[in-house]
Chains A and B, each alone.
Chain A
Amino acid sequence: MSPSLSFANVTVGYARHPALHHLTVTFPSRSLTAVIGPNGAGKSTLLKAAVGLIRPMSGRITCHDCRQRDIAYLPQLAEVDRSFPIPVFDFVAMGQWRRRGAFSAFRRDDDEATAHALAAVGLVGFEGRTLDTLSGGQMQRVMFARLILEDAPLILLDEPFSAIDDRTIGDLMQQVERWHTEGRTIAVVLHDLDLVRERFPRALLVARQCLAEGPTAEVLTEANLAAARHMTEAWDDHAPFCAGEAA
């Protein structure tokens, strides 16, 4: 339990252009880290690389005490087809995939676990609703219920609170903190700096490279944030190949 995740000199990107350039950072065991940075800074790319959805062009990503496939990951734009006719209960129950897989039967206690997860995110009474009848906030609660059931030691959330109202953010943030006290390692991509200052002990500021990492107060300084704002988003099609590459 309580794994750590480290990036050693990792470059990840698209079409040979790095979205994240020679990144070396660590998410320590039992830490709760906010990943911040401007749009296009490579925050989502960082999480995708961690769960293996993108292969790094160079460098190593290592996950101690946790297999890569055991990381729970909430994508920014989940590819959930909400028109598919499935009740909320069944969808959330799929969070137990690692234990039950594609074939095992669901037992009574599995169903109870699902009911508990739904209760934890405030969705009692929604069991039989289909996904297309849910609001954006309710859908995010459903995704969190599934994450609870995944029971993963390492949890990565990509902008879980965008377009979500304050009350829902409050409830879901409580769940994140519950995971933190349970000793799980968590990284959350966020844009709300006030929320980061209030609730996140650690922060990582990226802007296509690591600008600052550590206790939140030391990361969120005016100087660092100004540096992040000066990041260039555009690709230079004629940029020379990176010299570090040869090493």
Chain B
Amino acid sequence: MTPIDLIQPFIDFAFMRRALSGCLILSLSTAPVGVFLMLRRLSLTGDAMAHAILPGAACGYLLAGLNLYAMTAGGIVAGLVVATLSSLVARATPLKEDTSLATFYLMSLALGVIMVSLRGSSVDLMHILFGSVLALDDTALAFIATIASITIVVFAIVWRLLVMECIDPGFLRVLRGGGATAHFAFMGVMVLNLVAGYQALGTLLSVGLMVLPAAAARFWTRRIGGMIAAAAAIAMLSSALGLILSYFWRLPSGPAIIAVASAIYLASVLAGSVGGVLTSRLAFRHRSG
């Protein structure tokens, strides 16, 4: 097999090209979200929020069938409601962010499963949960691109606030610096990206493209900018390789992408230049001062 054969599916089939462009765009916008989730120790939040989106999407599905707009709008609304409520409870009561989010997402997930079971079969549920990157149409692609653009603009605007809110929230509180604004903007962007992600990969796996590349990137650089660039690159590589593997080996495409990202993550844990298991064991030479 020559390298040309590897890209042959993208040359031959429009659906492969659309899948690839969708995933590449998504990689760009989920990278900063994933890195900040990791740095705020909120990686599991992404997972929880993905579940929280379900009842919204299910509600859209109940009302309008497999309709992109209805399910997306429902997902965004459900996600934002859960994000806002849990952040409010975390900031106004002694409950911490993790507990308050867990309560709301469980509520949301239970509702969602009940709603899906009211009408659809389990095949439909699988469709919502695992997505269909190979079925991305132009509308869905434009939607993902829009959300990616919004994400990058929002990050450009709240960047300094968000970084400061992560490092030293107390400092911003004394200054009345708007740390809460940054937090809510960030949660909003995360919800948008999860909704965009479940178009391509499904609710369960969209978190993977957010969390795994970010976690892998941590093993290669100490700079936050570099971390985001590395995460985006890893996500893009996983997308391309995952699609190719899924084409030749007839694997489900979403899980194939996440499997490649997982492999890169595991390799980074072992061999990453910043704190990788093997590299930190091997580096026994130290400097003299």
A-to-B contact residues, CB < 8 Å: 51-53, 69, 71, 73, 75, 78-81, 83-87, 91, 94, 97-98, 102-103, 130-131
Q: Which of A83, A98, A103 interacts with B160 by CB under 8 Å?
A: A103
* CA A60 to CA B160, docked complex, whole Å: 34
Question: With A78-B168, A78-B170, A85-B39 in contact, do A97 and B175 touch (Cβ < 8 Å)?
Answer: yes
Within 8 Å of chain A (Cβ to Cβ): is B223?
yes
Please tell me if B37 contacts chain A, counting CB pairs below 8 Å.
no
Contact of B166 among A71, A75, A84, A97 (CB under 8 A): A84
CB of B167 within 8 A of CB of A80, answer yes
Mark interface residues in B151-190 (1 if CB within 8 Å of A CB, else 0).
0000001101101101111110111111000100000000
Is B224 part of the contact surface with A, judged by Cβ < 8 Å?
yes
Distance in angstroms between the alpha carbons of A53 and B158 in the assembled complex? 23
Note all chain A residues with C-beta closer than 8 A to B160.
102-103
Contact of B170 among A79, A87, A97 (CB under 8 A): A79
Q: Can you list 16 A-B pairs, Cβ within 8 angstroms, ordered by A?
A: A51-B174, A53-B173, A53-B174, A73-B174, A85-B221, A85-B222, A87-B223, A94-B168, A97-B175, A97-B177, A98-B175, A102-B158, A102-B182, A103-B157, A103-B160, A130-B222
Q: Is the CB of B170 within 8 A of A75?
A: yes
Known pairs A79-B168, A80-B167 / 9 extra A-B pairs, C-beta < 8 Å: A75-B170, A79-B169, A80-B168, A86-B167, A91-B167, A98-B175, A102-B160, A102-B178, A103-B157
Q: Counting chain A CB atoms within 10 Å of each CB, which of B160, B166, B178, B224 scores highest? A: B160
B216 to chain A, nearest CB (A): 15
B229 to chain A, nearest CB (A): 13
Which range contains the number of B residues in contact with the other chain? 20 to 34
Residues of A with C-beta under 8 A to B163: 84, 86
- Inter-chain contact B177/A102, CB cutoff 8 Å: yes
Q: Once bound together, how far apart are the Cα atoms of A98 and B163, in whole Å?
A: 16
Nearest Cβ distance between residue B286 and chain A, in whole angstroms?
14
Q: Which residues of chain B are within 8 angstroms of A97 by Cβ–Cβ distance?
A: 164, 171, 175, 177
Q: How far is the CA of A80 from the CA of B168 in the complex (A)?
A: 5
Chain B residues, CB < 8 A from A73:
174
Measured CB to CB, the residues of B under 8 A from A are: 39, 157-158, 160-161, 163-164, 166-171, 173-178, 182, 221-224, 227
Chain A residues with Cβ below 8 Å from B182 are 102
In the complex the two chains form, what is the Cα distance from A53 to B39 in whole Å? 25
- In the complex, the answer to whether B168 meets A81 with C-beta atoms within 8 Å is yes
CB distance from B145 to the nearest CB of A (A): 26
Residue in chain B with minimal CB distance to A82: B167
Closest chain A residue, CB of each to CB of B221: A85
Q: How far is the CB of A151 from chain B (nearest CB, A)?
A: 13
A91-B167, A102-B158 as given contacts; A84 in contact with B174, CB under 8 Å? no
Question: When chains A and B are docked, how far (Å) is the Cα of A73 from the Cα of B157?
Answer: 27
A189 nearest CB across to chain B (Å): 16
Q: How far is the CA of A44 from the CA of B171 in the complex (A)?
A: 16
When chains A and B are docked, how far (Å) is the Cα of A127 from the Cα of B221?
A: 17
Question: Chain B contacts of A84 at CB under 8 A?
Answer: 39, 163, 166-167, 224
Q: How far is the CA of A118 from the CA of B175 in the complex (A)?
A: 22
Nearest-Cβ distance from residue B174 to partner chain A, whole angstroms: 5
> Are the C-beta atoms of A69 and B171 separated by less than 8 Å?
no
Contacts of A53 in B (CB 8 A): 170, 173-174
- Smallest Cβ distance from B184 to chain A, in angstroms? 14
In the complex formed, the residue of A with least CB distance to B177 is A97
- Are B177's CB and A81's CB within 8 A? no
> How far apart sit A102 and B158, CA to CA, in the bound complex (Å)?
7
Instruction: Please give the distance in Å from B28's CB to the nearest CB on chain A.
Output: 20
B158 contact set on A, CB distance < 8 A: 102
Bound-state Cα–Cα, A215 to B26, Å: 65
Q: How far is the CA of A94 from the CA of B224 in the complex (A)?
A: 16
Chain B residues near A85 (CB, 8 Å)?
A: 39, 221-224, 227
> Which A-chain residue is minimally distant from B218 (CB atoms)?
A85
Using Cβ atoms and an 8 Å threshold, which residues of chain A touch B174?
51-53, 69, 71, 73
Q: Which residues of A contact B222 (CB under 8 A)?
A: 85, 130
Q: Which of A51, A71, A85, A130 has the most CB of B within 10 A?
A: A85
Measured in the bound complex, the distance between the Cα atoms of B108 and A97 in whole Å is 39
